[in-house]
Structure 1
Amino acid sequence: MRAAGFALLLATTAPAAFASAAMAQDASTYPPALPAPQPAIPAVRDVAYPGVIKLDVDATNLNQRIFSVTETIPVANAGPLTLFFPEWLPGNHGPVGPVAQLAGIEITANGQRVEWVRDTLHPLAYHLNVPAGASEIVVKMQHLSPTTGNQGRITMTQEMLNVQWEKMLLYPAGHWSRNITLQPTVKLPTGWRFGTALEPLEKNGDVQSFKPVNLEVLIDSPIFAGAHYRQIDLDPGGRSPVRANFVADDPASLAATDEQIQILRNLVVQMDRLYGARHFDHYDFLIAMTDKLGGIGLEHHRSSENSVDPAFFTGWATHLGDRDLLSHEMNHSWDGKWRRPADQYVPNFNSPLQNSLLWVYEGQTQYYGQVVAARSGLLTKQQAMDSLAITAATFDNRVGREWRAMQDTTNDPIISQRQPKGWLSWQRDEDYYSEGQLIWLDVDTTIREKTNGRKSLDDFAKAFYGVEDGSYDPKPYTFEDVVAALNGVVANDWATFLRTRLDGHGPGAPLDGLVRGGWRLTYADTPTDYQKTLYAELKRNDYTYSLGIQTTGTNVIHALQWDSPAFKAGLAVGMEIVAVNGEAANMDRINAAITAAKDPAKTVDLIVKDGDRYRTVSFDYHDGLRYPRLERIPGTPDRLGDILTPRTR
């Protein structure tokens, strides 16, 4: 009442002049905001940068994991020059350039030191003044690979290393990346061999030089090198080379069987049959079989960086976690690299990306990564279906959909920058990957249903990605382009179809494609063989659909479902289960307790450690263990089975 009465008094006795005077008095109280004095960053122009930048990397300091860099940059004129450290990294989908790992920057011209100043508004930009008479500047610096995992991704070990050029260069602002030419060289430890999409020139001792390329191609062409190396030809006699370049912690990991090599060759065959066209003149899988080098799965146009378990070959039957990685990353050569979202087609690596179409770029690749893995034999058909069951259950129970549409998750690489989340099921994360997979299954089965099996998403793939054979220049696309291409396969209101699934809130995941494929999601009290093997490899115990938690092999809560019994009991990620029903906790005892509690007279009682505190929680839960699996719908076409069957042409 008092606030309302005071407002009425002002309205009747203090006209606008009074308010204006008060506002003027308030404004005069504060000093004016002054822009920070900053040198101007030149606008990007589509013109060639004069000369060729020489980039020399010494990668021999294995003990301290230091890459030493010398960069010689030609300059045409004296005066202001701005150099960028790459910030918006392709495939990372966010501003994650690790500038903190760059150190020791010293710039000289004609042997004299040139001072640089960091831009305080754009801290990955460095300003300097080129002195009169200088034709080039020399930059010396180091890229400091993390020495432990908590510092970031380790890129150098005693057995192998990963040269990622974007982490060890500066480039001139004001130019499109494609208009800046560099001549790279790398010095490797004696006797080491390497794989890369770059084309080698001469080798002088341990120093390997490569053909000059533009900045975009260079950053898109990393190196894996190691003491234990093997290259396998995956397309013998093919129209363009496709190679698998393996480095390993131990040479024993490199022992692939003939059958395993044939499966990798099948992968290339199935990709060719899917798309038809190739947008590369050669393709190199870079594969680290390691527990020591940091994990990675990163796409490039003519190569990919892949980290797999050392037992990828030698433990084939028991190691499933990396099985679809190679098919996923190779698929990106078409989807994401050649055809890329228009809002990701930007002038250089310090121009912000937009991620609105990642549900195509990554979601469709997640779909085809799994499908081609099954078609090639990296996964059996049953394993692919069991994997799909886990995905379907995960997103059918993703309660965060209530407040956050899947489309919004395409912003996560920028918002979260791939940091762990404590309440993943509620916060959501980069769900455009696997929920996107479910949407594209929905699209595929819809096409198959509408055409009585005569057409499928494969027809879209060939029309959208499998054209202009031999073209390497990026071909951007928009949402409208995707819709038009789908309508070119079969007429439908595809815009509404997609937007409903991208912008909706459920309830539940988009599982129509699964049902239309002839299968439905159900739950059983035992895991599938695939889930049992996978979770044993991951050292993970799954009670997601019973108590609402996943635990590690040491009974620490790894994930927790929002609004589940565990949530309502006050549990959180990071807590440790130390006892169940009065006995020391382990997987078998927790399983037995949940099963026994199907008797309504019994409960599941846990002692939980939270830091230095212990407490007992009791679950009045009686539905037993629940694990996802797919169940055949009688009397329906098995479209999912058809999708996973190898193509013969």
Structure 2
Amino acid sequence: MKPVVPFILTFSALASTAAIADVNYHIDLTSPAHHLAKVDVAFPHTDSDTLVVNLPVWRTGKYQVLPLGDAVRTFTATDASGKVLPWTRTASGEWTVALSKPTSVNVSYQLYANKLGQRVNHIDASHAFLDASGTFVYSPEFRDEAINVSLKVPSDWNSYSGMDSGGKAHSFTADNYDILVDSPIETGISMHREFEADGRKYELVVWGEGNYDIEQMVTDLAKLSGQAEVIWDDYPFERYVYMVHATSGARGATEHLNSTIIQRPRFSYRDRKDYLGFIKTASHEFIHTWNVKAYRPEGLVPYNYQDEEITELLWIAEGSTSYFQSQLLLRAGVMTPKEFFEDLAKRVAQNLQTPGREVQSIASASANQWASSGGDYAVNHSTNIYSEGYLTSLALDFSLIEETELKASYRDVHRKLYNEHRLPAGFSIADVKAILADVSGTSYESWWQKFVNSPVSIDFDAMLAQAGLEMTYGKDSKAEPFTGVTLKSGSLVLSHVLRNGPAWNAGIVLADEIVAINGLKVTAAGFESRIKDFKAGDTIKVTLFSNDRLKDVELTLGEQPSGKLAITSVNKPSRSQKAFFKAWLGVDWPFDKEGQFKPVK
């Protein structure tokens, strides 16, 4: 990989230390037991007659408006002489301070930090996680000024961040607020490791006890971190920090400029399936360091922390990141080919069982992300920017490999996005189409209309056959009866009713509660087994409560294959199919002559 090529922009110059910080933040974390802290902010001299102070209403990586300002109490403002200044709450994340004369302004407030699951902030007796979007206010007037953050913490705490510490404990600096808001701080009692990969320095910080093996995590993160050259020519960072929370339930992850925060239940690391969930998440967030943090859709440039930012390209930002995450792990030898194709098969099966793919395009889903709330309606009428974005990226990759006769792939598109559309500029739909035409030598207008602007319909059988692969439910698969409903955990209340499925067509609706089948009581634990007593095509009488009224419904059972969808080798794959496979994934053909996965060395 080439040496890092620095890119200059007012809000993304990492780890640059100002001689004198113009905006000073101090947070007192010495009484953390009740999730409380005191924050003081010193803004520089201003000649304005008001100073607008904001706390973001959303955080980067989560495209949803959040009530972050509700965590602020006892807000006060004083001038350079300590005189109290009047202020007005002018929006959920805004305070307007009145100034009678030019002065510097000091702002203080109490912060309640208990949004661990949102990865916004969390303070307790063992640590504090501080994402600036939910922790530190800013003034638009001084957004581009250099900042300094100092923390007052218990004596046995250590503090880490992607920001530069300048060699001082519990202190960090950055060129501006945009770097602060994208460089969370983890301080407290934690485990810490340092390692290197491809000439870059990395840190792993783990807060919380659990069944993880931190040395194994370091080994695999090092392997992953060395795979970036597969897609990009250089790095947008010199140092990167993996932050991990082993918690009692919170899960998820968020990408940042040169760090990430990953949260998983504390006992979800030992089993291979659980550990793969962790390392795939780490890969996803690592890829985001380029795709989103170094280049992103123009609708998200620059970040507007007080308003929604709409773009039809979120599927590239998120879905394409999901698409590449397992590929890097496969190339690194962290994930086996068998595990890779189990993951792909699961994604294809989910797509085939999501009626919303027939209704909403991936472009529409991207633009609608800020209003997306999930649930039954989403399954039946929506497309997901992560899951369907992954499969749209897969289809685009196969198309490019075919069009260029194995000479180029979707990786080349992201390499060009990074090289040609790095921040502070964002990329547009026209930019992506131009890159596709440049990489492939042909127009992708019709492809874009079919796969991006329209509800996507992928012929998985034909597509996978190009790489010598096929989908199967196994030789012992047989037709099973199918209702098209999902029950809430531990109950007979319906949490999903698939659009145009057997139950849907029978008039059964969301939140109905099943009582009996053919006049006999049924239990939540025995429902699936009871359905298997019948055959596809049979008509059964379902007794249920619908809006508290008891009624009977005639339901004709549909059909679905038994077993789990798998992706495996076609019979006698050709040399050209194997070559396509290698161009796609960059690894050798993993199947033996019987179509079984070869043992991993």
**Under a length normalisation based on structure 2, what TM-score does the superposition of the two structures give?**
0.82
Distance 1:513 1:507, change over 3 A: closer
Distance 1:519 1:546, change over 3 A: farther
How many Å apart are 1:504 and its aligned residue? 1.4
TM-superposition CA deviations, 1:403-447 (whole Å, max 9, x none): 43221111233223xx34332222315x22221211211121122
CA distance in 1, matches of 2:586, 2:488: 35
Distance 1:498 1:233, change over 3 A: farther
Q: Which segment is superposed worse, 406-415 or 332-341?
A: 406-415
Question: What is aligned with 1:268?
Answer: 225
Instruction: Tell me the amino acid that sits aligned with residue 211 of structure 2.
Output: S
Residue among 483, 488, 510 paired with 2:438? 488
Aligned 8 A contact 1:548 1:560 in 2? yes
How many Å apart are 1:551 and its aligned residue? 3.9
Question: What is aligned with 1:566?
Answer: 503
Question: What is aligned with 1:247?
Answer: 207
Question: What is aligned with 1:7?
Answer: none
Question: What is aligned with 1:643?
Answer: 584
CA distance in 2, matches of 1:324, 1:143: 33
CA distance in 2, matches of 1:485, 1:313: 40
Residue among 276, 284, 294 paired with 2:241? 284
Distance 1:510 1:501, change over 3 A: farther
Residues 36-435 of structure 1 correspond to what in structure 2 (within 5 A)?
A: 52-77=22-47, 79-96=49-66, 98-109=68-79, 110-119=81-90, 122-132=91-101, 134=103, 136-146=104-114, 155-174=122-141, 177=143, 179-201=144-166, 203=168, 208-227=170-189, 229-235=190-196, 238-248=198-208, 250=209, 252-256=210-214, 258=216, 260-292=217-249, 294-318=250-274, 320-346=276-302, 348-350=304-306, 352-416=308-372, 419-428=373-382, 431-435=384-388
How many Å apart are 1:155 and its aligned residue? 2.3
CA distance in 1, matches of 2:119, 2:232: 36
How many Å apart are 1:257 and its aligned residue? 5.1
In the alignment, structure 1 segments of 5+ residues that lack a partner are 1-43, 528-542
TM-superposition CA deviations, 1:76-95 (whole Å, max 9, x none): 32622222222353222344
CA distance in 2, matches of 1:616, 1:572: 13
Instruction: Tell me the amino acid that sits aligned with residue 49 of structure 2.
Output: G
TM-superposition CA deviations, 1:266-293 (whole Å, max 9, x none): 111222333231011211111112125x
Q: Does the residue aligned with 1:423 lie in a helix, a strand or coil? A: helix
Aligned 8 A contact 1:525 1:624 in 2? no
CA distance in 1, matches of 2:47, 2:449: 52
Q: Does the residue aligned with 1:200 lie in a helix, a strand or coil? A: coil
Question: What is aligned with 1:25?
Answer: none
**Under a length normalisation based on structure 1, what TM-score does the superposition of the two structures give?**
0.76
Aligned 8 A contact 1:234 1:268 in 2? no
Residues 523-562 of structure 1 correspond to what in structure 2 (within 5 A)?
A: 523=473, 546-551=482-487, 553-555=489-491, 557-562=494-499
Q: Does the residue aligned with 2:245 lie in a helix, a strand or coil? A: strand
TM-superposition CA deviations, 1:617-648 (whole Å, max 9, x none): 6643153564433354444615457634559x
How many Å apart are 1:181 and its aligned residue? 2.1
CA distance in 2, matches of 1:500, 1:353: 25
Aligned 8 A contact 1:80 1:127 in 2? yes
Residues 496-645 of structure 1 correspond to what in structure 2 (within 5 A)?
A: 496-506=446-456, 513-523=463-473, 546-551=482-487, 553-555=489-491, 557-573=494-510, 582=520, 585-586=523-524, 589-598=526-535, 603=540, 619-621=555-557, 623=559, 626=562, 627-630=564-567, 632-634=569-571, 635=573, 637-638=577-578, 639=580, 643-645=584-586
How many Å apart are 1:601 and its aligned residue? 5.6
Give the greater-gyration-radius structure (CA): 1
Q: Does 1:460 align with 2:421?
A: no
CA distance in 2, matches of 1:335, 1:288: 23
How many Å apart are 1:520 and its aligned residue? 4.4
Aligned 8 A contact 1:441 1:513 in 2? no
State how many pairs are aligned.
562
Distance 1:614 1:66, change over 3 A: farther
Instruction: Tell me the amino acid that sits aligned with residue 450 of structure 1.
Output: E
In the alignment, structure 2 segments of 5+ residues that lack a partner are 1-9, 11-17, 589-601
How many Å apart are 1:377 and its aligned residue? 4.3
Distance 1:225 1:549, change over 3 A: farther
How many Å apart are 1:96 and its aligned residue? 3.4
Distance 1:213 1:68, change over 3 A: same
CA distance in 2, matches of 1:511, 1:95: 40
Q: Does the residue aligned with 1:340 lie in a helix, a strand or coil? A: coil
Instruction: Tell me the amino acid that sits aligned with residue 246 of structure 1.
Output: V
How many Å apart are 1:75 and its aligned residue? 2.2
CA distance in 2, matches of 1:331, 1:233: 20
Aligned 8 A contact 2:359 2:381 in 1? no
CA distance in 2, matches of 1:106, 1:350: 21
Distance 1:86 1:578, change over 3 A: same
Q: Does the residue aligned with 1:155 lie in a helix, a strand or coil? A: strand
How many Å apart are 1:343 and its aligned residue? 2.0
TM-superposition CA deviations, 1:119-158 (whole Å, max 9, x none): 2xx5433222223363x22211122234897x99772344
CA distance in 1, matches of 2:270, 2:119: 29
Q: Does the residue aligned with 2:532 lie in a helix, a strand or coil? A: helix
CA distance in 1, matches of 2:116, 2:162: 28
**% identical aligned pairs:** 19
Aligned 8 A contact 2:119 2:131 in 1? no
Q: Which segment is superposed worse, 89-98 or 332-341?
A: 89-98
Instruction: Tell me the amino acid that sits aligned with residue 191 of structure 1.
Output: D
